[in-house]
Amino acid sequence: MSQIGYRRELDGIRAVAVTSVLLFHLGFPAMAGGFVGVDVFFVLSGYLICGQIYLRLGDGSYSATEFFARRIRRLSTAYFVCFLVTALIAQALFLHSELDMLFRNLLGSITFTNNFNLLHSQGYFNHSAHENPFLHTWSLSIEEQFYIVLPLIVLLLQRSQAAFARVLALIFVLTLGLTLFSGDLIHDREERFFSSLFRAWELAAGALVFIGMQRFAHVPRWPVLALVGLVLVIAPVGLIDESYLYPGWATLMPAMGTALLLYAAHPASSRTARVLGTRPMVYVGRISYGTYIWHWPLIVFAQYVDVYMTDVIRTGLFFAALGLGALSHHLIEAPVRRWDIARHKGRLYRVFAVQTAILLVLTGYIYQQANRVNLDEDAAVARIKAATDAHDARWQNCWGKTEPADFCAVGNLAEVPDFLVWGDSMVNSAVPAFDAYAHGSNQGGYVLPTPGCAPLFGVVRDHSGAEGCRNVNRAILAYLDRAPPMQVILFARWPYYAEGYGNVARTRSAPVGLLDDSGARTGSHPFDGFALALRETLRRIPEKHSVTIIGTVPDYPYSVPNAMLKDMRFGRVRPPATRLTFEAETGRTMAVMQRVARDMGARLVEPDRVFCPYETCLQEIDGDPLYADHTHLSARGNVLLRDVLLKDLPRRD
């Protein structure tokens, strides 16, 4: 036989996968690891597609042209309609300055190279990713790259079934080994998410499960393995989040869980399989492809027009995505899938060529629109972008320094520094303010920023850079032990650590915890360890130094400059952020800082009194945003902070 028999439970697995991804993208806090659903799709795809190739190689019926015709029949018409509609809406909706991003991602999606485009442009979890309606096509690109290369390998192997199995095993071993043990030698943590090299083993794993089931059919398939597999697929959805290095060791859970389900979930012997094979699960699985390709543009456009994502809205968008998936399945996918490959292979290739040509013409039009002159909008955009350029030439060169010879200097630095600024990315965004303070007060000093790393001794935010953060903080304290007396300035995004906020959405429902030096959580909530850690930091700074704590600068659940551009685009006035909201979100963090500073004899500077005067918080002054994104300071924001520093910090005559 050259066909894999239909298994209802596999549609149930698809339902679990697409639901996980959908709930994650909608921002339900309890589903912070829902992105693992894509790993499930990869393994399942390898099982089905490579399984078909393996069977056809065995009976001599394999044809590369028929293989590609099947891929076209399965995917192309549905994504053609989705890409066409998405691009047309985005072209009409987006700002002129955003059309270049639209052009690059549409072209990458059409050519199945969008993962490479994204790999070099933006992280999957970054705020900017939420404005890209083609972000989700990275997974389609990886899958199709695999299935473009694989038939070529089959031809080179002279259609040998045994050699095909050996190559898949080699791909699995090599790419899994690189994924688990390469660290950041090949890709950094942002890039690796989109890397084909770190995903190929998942597709190969599914293929090897199929081959193993063919060759070792006599091996018993204990029903409990199906239950274990389902647990391994579902558990990461609630257990992991963006802080994990991914793909990495954590990826083994959903991948191996899917493999166990494929192997052991059979309705005749497994209750787990019977649950997965129920009618609702099967139906959601059947519409999963359409749901996947439509759900992300739906979410992006909703957020673009500032739909506030309450749980009610999220639920509505969830069912809307399923509805679009159902329409795609019944009106587009199912009719095309009824075409017989043998009779309609040429027709499929012609339809694919026409669809691709239409999309490429649209891509060319968007490129032309992106490069035309729009004087009114371009002038406003240029002004806002210039104002948001908070990064000087040393932005990438100051991170995580531990040796004095490498420290980033500001001001008129002599042999002995007057101050040292210690903190996270807020310090890096405020380098112009500290440099201006140093020159204005006739001083010189060092700025020592480390991303995601507050100057808290004994604790660190639970993320993949935790150990590096510990090492940097220990090195800075060791330097302060031997350094001459100076002013030590602590500055960070304090509520981010005390409240465990997400990077952009300031939610407390699923806080990211603090870890102690043993790697254990400091308490049921990160706030439990924050006050003790801040107090311990001040205790460990030698008494010869004076200590200043820079308090909290407001942050927002959206990019301030982007919000200004959208307000300009849609002709609306955004309600001002209130001081009452700021105090509700940061009040107890600031209260702790005030108490610790008073008890430990430190100076506390509170920039919020300038950024949030009276009853409102400022986001812009005279059309210039105070922030480069949702929290980091822009050039104008640096001017505001500079004035605070010159007013409240020591000077040297």
pLDDT per position as a tens digit, 246-301: 999 999 999 999 999 999 998 888 899 999 999 999 999 999 999 999 999 999 99
Interatomic CA distance for residues 158 and 478, integer angstroms: 63
Q: How far apart are CA 474 and CA 517, in angstroms?
A: 11
Q: Is 564 left (phi over 0), alpha (psi -120 to 50) or beta?
A: alpha
Helix, strand, or coil (residue 224): helix
* pLDDT for residue 466: 83
* Domain residue spans of the chain: 8-372, 389-648
Mean pLDDT, residues 530-535 taken together: 93
Query: Residue 448: what pLDDT?
Result: 95
- Contact criterion met (CB below 8 Å) for 604 and 549: yes
Packing angle of the helix pair 252-264, 200-215 (nearest 10 deg): 20
Q: Above 60 in pLDDT, residue 391? A: no
Give me the phi and psi of 266, to 5 degrees please.
-125, 125
Lowest mean pLDDT among 110-119, 204-213, 564-573: 564-573
Question: Using CA atoms, how far apart are residues 140 and 402, in angstroms rounded to an integer?
Answer: 42
Sequence-distant (6+) residues with CB within 8 A of 506 are 495, 499, 555, 557, 585
Residue 499 CB-density burial (10 A; 0-12 exposed, 13-18 middle, 19+ buried): buried
Strand pairing category for 546-550 and 603-605: parallel
Residue 504 has pLDDT above 80, yes or no: no
The model's pTM is 0.76
For residue 459, what are the β-bridge partners?
516
**Helices within 441-559 (DSSP H only):** 466-482, 494-498, 527-540
Predicted local distance difference test score (pLDDT) of residue 520: 83
3-class DSSP state for residue 179?
Answer: helix
Alpha carbon of residue 393 to chain centroid: 26
Check pLDDT > 70 for residue 377: no
The closest of 174, 208, 197, 199 to 53, measured between CA atoms, is 208
8-state DSSP, 50: I
- What tens digit of pLDDT does each residue of 73-90 get? 999 999 999 999 999 999
- How far is residue 200 from each of residues 184, 186, 564, measured CA to CA in Å? 18, 15, 41
Integer Cα distance of 455 and 550 in angstroms: 12
Section 600-612 average pLDDT: 95
Q: Which of 388-397, 511-520, 630-639 bottoms out in mean pLDDT, i.e. has the lowest? A: 388-397
In this structure, what token pair is assigned to residue 1? 């036989």
Give the CATH number of domain 389-648. 3.40.50.1110
Q: Residue 1 pLDDT more than 50?
A: no
**Residues present in the chain in total:** 653
> Are β-strands 577-578 and 616-617 bridged in parallel, bridged antiparallel, or unpaired?
antiparallel
Integer Cα distance of 297 and 278 in angstroms: 29
Identify the CA nearest to 151 among candidates 71, 250, 213, 36.
71
**483 C-beta neighbours (distance < 10 Å), count:** 18
Gap between the terminal Cα atoms of the chain: 89
- The owner of tokens 């994650």 is 24
pLDDT band at 585 (very low <50, low <70, confident <90, very high): confident
Beta strand 546-550 with 487-491 is parallel
Give mean pLDDT, residues 585-590: 91
Tracing tokens 């108490």 back to the chain, one arrives at 595
Tell me if 58 sits within 8 A of 3, measured CB to CB.
Answer: no
DSSP characters for 100-125? Answer: HHHHHHHHHHHTT-HHHHHHTT--TT
**pLDDT tens figures, 451-479:** 889 999 989 888 767 888 999 999 999 99
**607: its two tokens:** 């920039």
Exposed (0-12), middle (13-18) or buried (19+): which is 524, by Cβ within 10 Å? Answer: exposed
Q: pLDDT tens digits for 344-360?
A: 999 999 999 999 999 99
Is residue 481 a contact partner of residue 489, using CB atoms and an 8 Å limit?
no
Token pair of 330, please? 């019944």
Q: Among 7-16, 175-184, 536-545, which is the least confidently predicted range?
A: 175-184
Helix 51-59 vs helix 200-215: crossing angle, to nearest 10: 50
Q: Does position 372 have pLDDT exceeding 50, yes or no?
A: yes
Q: Are 423 and 490 in contact (CB under 8 A)?
A: yes
pLDDT score recorded for residue 573: 78
| Residue 635, CB-side half-sphere exposure with 13 Å CA sphere | 11
Q: Which has the closest alpha carbon to 109: 142, 146, 74? A: 142
Q: What is the DSSP letter of 265?
A: -
Contact 517, 470 (CB under 8 A): yes
The confidence score (pLDDT) of residue 510 equals: 58
Percentage of the chain exceeding pLDDT 90: 67
Helices H, strands E: what count in the chain? 27, 12
Dihedral sign of CA atoms 430, 436, 441, 447 in order: positive
pLDDT digits (tens, 9 = 90+) for 105-129: 999 999 999 999 998 876 676 666 7
CA distance 455 to 610: 24
Q: Return the structure tokens found at 408.
A: 């980033």
Measured CA to CA, the distance from residue 74 to residue 80 in angstroms comes to 12
Q: Cα–Cα distances in Å, from 452 out to 45, 401, 476? A: 36, 14, 16
Q: For 561-583, what is the mean pLDDT?
A: 84
What is the 8-class DSSP label of residue 512?
A: P
Q: Give the chain's mean pLDDT.
A: 90
pLDDT of residue 96: 81
434 burial via Cβ count (<10 Å: 0-12, 13-18, 19+): buried
Buried b (16+ CB within 10 A) or exposed e, 320-349: ebbebbbebbeebbeebeeeeeeebbeebe
Q: Is the peptide bond before 575 cis (omega within 30 degrees of 0)?
A: no
Mean pLDDT value of segment 301-318: 89
3-state secondary structure of 605: strand
500-526 mean pLDDT: 72
* pLDDT exceeds 80 at position 387: no
Query: What are the pLDDT digits (tens) for 392-427?
Result: 566 677 888 889 889 999 998 878 899 999 999 999
